[in-house]
Amino acid sequence: MARIVEFLADGFEEVEAVTPIDYLRRAGVEVVVAGVGTMTPTGAHGLRIAADVDAASLSGEFDGVVLPGGMPGASNLAGSKDVERVCKEVSMKGGLVAAICAAPAVALDHFGLLTGRRFTCYPGFEKSVNDAEFSGEKVVVDGNLITSRGPGTAAFFASAIVRYLVGKKASESLEKDTLLV
């Protein structure tokens, strides 16, 4: 079974955080929710989520990492050495790095993980990214990097992560169950 860590920091975009957690767990993927700076991060619209673990105390191997967007959530992720360390470790081992909305441009670019890659993000944030190829698609898969545009694409983003981790058949079943098709 794949093991994923999703980081949540105060100011995260709720739908972008909850949708991947839900889809991945439905598909049988272990998801560890790591709080950045707090064990009960509060979303941009007031939703509070209890984290499984503090990001500073993370240990073990992960097959992937998920970063939701939202502001100032994405900036808070970018400012975390723990998030940066895990993202770089996972990427260096060929694991999945997935980010949505502002997180690709704000956090992944800051960590140096977009260089030479194709990506998408929330409209307007691409202007701050150099040395990467922006695409206006809902979801962009570039090898082990999956990026998406924003709240309205959260289900497509989550489905792409499931497809990457557990295969097309599981993704299609999940899409049918959640009426994404």
At 146, phi and psi to the nearest 5?
Answer: -120, 125
Decide if 101 is catalytic. Answer: yes
Q: Of 56, 64, 63, 57, whose CA–CA distance to 80 is shortest?
A: 56
Q: Is 130 left (phi over 0), alpha (psi -120 to 50) or beta?
A: beta
Q: Which residue out of 101, 129, 154, 170 is catalytically annotated?
A: 101
At 32, phi and psi to the nearest 5?
Answer: -105, 120
Catalytic sites, residue numbers: 101
